[in-house]
């Protein structure tokens, strides 16, 4: 991964920079990492809004009244409102907010190639002067400035931040990025432990790797007539939502082109929808549905409804992150209280369309998110906030709450929750909302979640529970190792990243963005004929809107430098 970020400026220099950026702040107020410890009582209060389109988020308009909100108010005279975002219709929410001019001062979105639609909408908004140009400001903020130096960014992140279509302007900051090594999410299938034991399956189960083997496992579960905590018969397979990476896990045996949906066969650039894999994937989903193995509602229901089903153990097998499938996850508290043996255990992932077990992870592209700033916001105060949030103190505060009330620096120099606070965190599903923690972490990931210079939690910096619950961290590690025993790490671009500079992008892009919804329609169609008509109609629409010409454009770029582009990066990351 990226080389480690070099030593930051000295404490005294950082204190001077912060004081210079907010001249009315107390001149002698500086914390260990150079951020002002208290705002001047004479400084005018600035109101800022933050909205994350990376759903679900747990913010609220009353964020200023939470412990984290109060710390921000006391330190910077900033009253921050954090608008919650549901998991439904995220892209439409972005479009509506931009069209109406109702853009929060700070906004964040998902920018992974697994689901590029949000990034595409943000790119378009940046070119249309919706967001502030940061290029003349970032040098005043040492942590931010160091983080976005090209030498510290992998190729994918460089393409996001230094998009050629932006010229010399900078509109985005990376969030949730890695600087030392790629984040291995442990994303894949998990199975209820009691069911695995009942059917005689040892976990993880690498022998379940083909569609036929996966189908046979689900059929065996169906025949067992297992129930949830309420005694209701369960589905063998279902999910918390219908996010693209969830669909990717179920459709991995047919994932031509991987995350980009664009692959190269014998030197020819080809789109996923133009291959036989697309129709085979549709048939696979329909087979699962027709046999009562997959909950059809899990392809349409909301995150909240999916969460309720997951908490009740409604699905024998489900796709999720390694961090979700731990005893520390309050989502599963009702399940574990009913029967600890119901805890989900790692099952594995199916092979990809090439018959490969190993996952291919692209540096910088794993669960990547970005921040942007409204051109009308108080940019100085907004960047001051993000600079602090990216420091050790800021990370700890945004994760745990107020220092010396919710957490303290332990003898090892790492942030640790007080035992009674950790117990509350572990048992109260509303804890993040009450504290103002949770999704606010997006403001703290600019310098890298595993940046050794801002490591507030110990270990590699990613595991914020390490000081309080090393066993839970080990649980997550075991899940990751069970799901992703081997990975292939690349540092390349994917061909879909050339779309922003394609002269006819406005013609083809809106149709490409309909792909996930169209595939869902095919999965849920009343008959194979109806599904086939929807599928063929969509391919026809793609080609009428220039898909072949777009492939020719990508072919030319690929032929000029084939080593620059990855012909496959796993959707499951």
Looking at the fold, whether 298 and 218 belong to one and the same domain comes out as yes
Contact call for residues 454 and 143 (beta carbons, < 8 A): yes
In a domain, 355, yes or no: yes
Chosen domain end from 457, 490, 523: 490
Same domain, 315 and 325: yes
* 261 and 298 inside one domain: no
Asked if residue 235 and residue 224 are part of one domain, the reply reads yes
Check whether residue 343 and residue 260 sit in a common domain: no
232 plus 295 within the same structural domain: yes
Work out how many domains the chain is built from and give that number.
Answer: 2
State the alpha helices, DSSP H only, in 339-486: 379-389, 392-400, 419-427, 431-435, 470-483
302 & 341 share domain: yes
Same domain, 335 and 265: no
Domain that holds residue 533: 251-272+493-573
On whether both 334 and 244 belong to a single domain, the answer is: yes
Do 213 and 260 have their domain in common? no
In a shared domain, residues 256 and 223: no
Last residue within a domain, chosen from 443, 464, 490: 490
What CATH number corresponds to the domain at position 345? 3.40.190.10
Which residues on adjacent β-strands are paired with residue 235? 315
> Residues 384, 385, 391, CA angle at the centre, nearest 5°?
95
Domain membership flag for residue 521: yes
Residue 115 within any structural domain of the chain: no
Last residue of a domain, one of 468, 490, 512: 490
Instruction: With H, G, I as helix, E, B as strand and everything else as coil, classify residue 114.
Output: coil
Q: Give the phi and the psi of residue 274 in degrees, each rounded to 5.
A: -100, 10
Q: Which two tokens stand for residue 406?
A: 């919710």
**Does 16 reside within a domain?**
no
DSSP tag of 41: T
pLDDT tens, residue order, the chain (573 aa): 333 333 332 323 223 223 333 333 333 333 444 444 566 556 799 999 999 887 555 666 688 999 999 999 999 999 999 886 665 678 888 889 999 989 999 999 888 766 677 888 899 999 999 999 999 999 999 999 999 999 888 888 888 899 888 999 999 999 877 888 777 888 899 999 999 999 999 999 989 999 999 999 999 999 999 999 999 999 999 999 887 778 888 999 999 999 889 999 899 999 999 999 999 999 999 999 999 999 999 999 988 899 999 999 999 999 998 888 888 788 898 999 999 999 999 999 999 999 999 888 887 766 578 999 999 999 999 999 999 999 999 999 999 999 999 999 999 999 999 999 999 998 887 898 899 987 788 888 898 888 899 999 999 888 899 999 999 899 999 999 998 888 888 888 889 888 878 999 999 999 998 999 999 999 999 999 999 999 999 999 999 999 999 999 999 999 999 999 988 888 776
And the tokens for 395? 């990370």
- pTM (predicted TM-score): 0.77
φ/ψ (deg, to 5) at 372:
-135, 165
| Peptide bond between residue 319 and the one before it cis (omega within 30 degrees of 0) | no
């Amino acid at each position: 991964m990226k080389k480690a970020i070099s030593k930051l400026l000295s404490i005294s220099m950082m204190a001077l920079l912060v004081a210079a950026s907010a001249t009315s702040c107390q001149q002698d107020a500086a914390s260990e990492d150079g951020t002002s410890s208290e705002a001047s009582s004479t400084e005018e209060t600035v109101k800022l809004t933050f909205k994350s389109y990376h759903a679900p988020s747990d913010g609220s308009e009353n964020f200023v009244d939470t412990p984290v909100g109060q710390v921000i108010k006391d330190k910077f005279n900033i009253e921050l409102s954090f608008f919650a975002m549901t998991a439904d219709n995220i892209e439409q929410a972005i479009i509506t907010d931009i069209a109406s001019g109702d853009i929060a001062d700070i906004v964040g979105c998902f920018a992974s190639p697994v689901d590029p639609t949000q990034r595409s909408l943000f790119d378009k908004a940046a070119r249309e002067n919706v967001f502030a140009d940061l290029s003349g400001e970032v040098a005043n903020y040492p942590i931010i400035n160091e983080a976005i130096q090209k030498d510290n960014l992998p190729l994918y992140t460089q393409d996001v931040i230094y998009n050629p279509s932006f010229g010399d302007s900078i509109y985005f900051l990376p969030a949730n990025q890695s600087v030392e090594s790629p984040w291995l999410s442990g994303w894949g299938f998990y199975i209820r432990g009691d069911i695995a034991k009942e059917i005689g399956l040892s976990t993880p189960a690498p022998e379940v790797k083909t569609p036929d083997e996966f189908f046979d496992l689900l059929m065996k579960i169906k025949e067992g007539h297992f129930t949830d905590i309420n005694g209701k018969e369960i589905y063998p397979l279902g999910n918390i939502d219908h996010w693209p990476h969830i669909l990717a896990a179920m459709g991995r045996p047919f994932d031509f082109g991987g995350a980009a949906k664009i692959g190269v066969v014998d030197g020819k650039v080809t789109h996923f929808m133009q291959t036989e894999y697309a129709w085979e994937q549709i048939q696979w989903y329909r087979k699962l549905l027709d046999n009562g193995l997959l909950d059809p509602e899990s392809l349409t229901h909301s995150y909240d409804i999916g969460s309720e089903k997951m908490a009740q153990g409604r699905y024998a097998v489900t796709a999720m992150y390694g961090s979700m499938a731990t005893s520390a996850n309050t989502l599963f508290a009702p399940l574990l209280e009913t029967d600890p043996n119901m805890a989900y255990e790692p099952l594995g992932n199916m092979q990809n369309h090439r018959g490969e077990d190993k996952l291919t992870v692209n540096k910088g592209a794993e669960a990547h998110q970005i921040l942007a700033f409204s051109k009308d916001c108080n940019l100085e105060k907004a960047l001051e906030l993000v600079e602090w949030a990216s420091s050790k103190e800021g990370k700890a505060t945004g994760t745990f709450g107020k220092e010396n009330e919710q957490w303290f620096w332990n003898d090892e120099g790492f942030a640790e929750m007080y035992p009674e606070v950790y117990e509350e965190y572990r048992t109260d599903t509303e804890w993040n909302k009450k504290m103002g923690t949770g999704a606010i972490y997006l403001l703290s990931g600019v310098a890298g979640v595993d940046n050794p210079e801002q490591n507030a939690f110990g270990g590699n910096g990613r595991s914020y529970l390490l000081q309080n619950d090393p066993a839970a961290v080990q649980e997550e590690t075991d899940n990751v190792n069970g799901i992703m025993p081997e990975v292939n790490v690349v540092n390349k671009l994917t061909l879909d990243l050339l779309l922003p500079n394609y002269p006819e992008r406005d013609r083809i892009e809106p149709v490409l963005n309909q792909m996930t919804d169209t595939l869902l329609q095919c999965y849920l169609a009343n008959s194979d004929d109806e599904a086939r008509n929807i599928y063929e109609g969509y391919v026809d629409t793609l080609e009428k809107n220039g898909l072949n010409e777009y492939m020719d454009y990508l072919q030319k770029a690929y032929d000029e430098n084939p080593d620059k582009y990855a012909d496959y990066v796993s959707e499951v990351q």
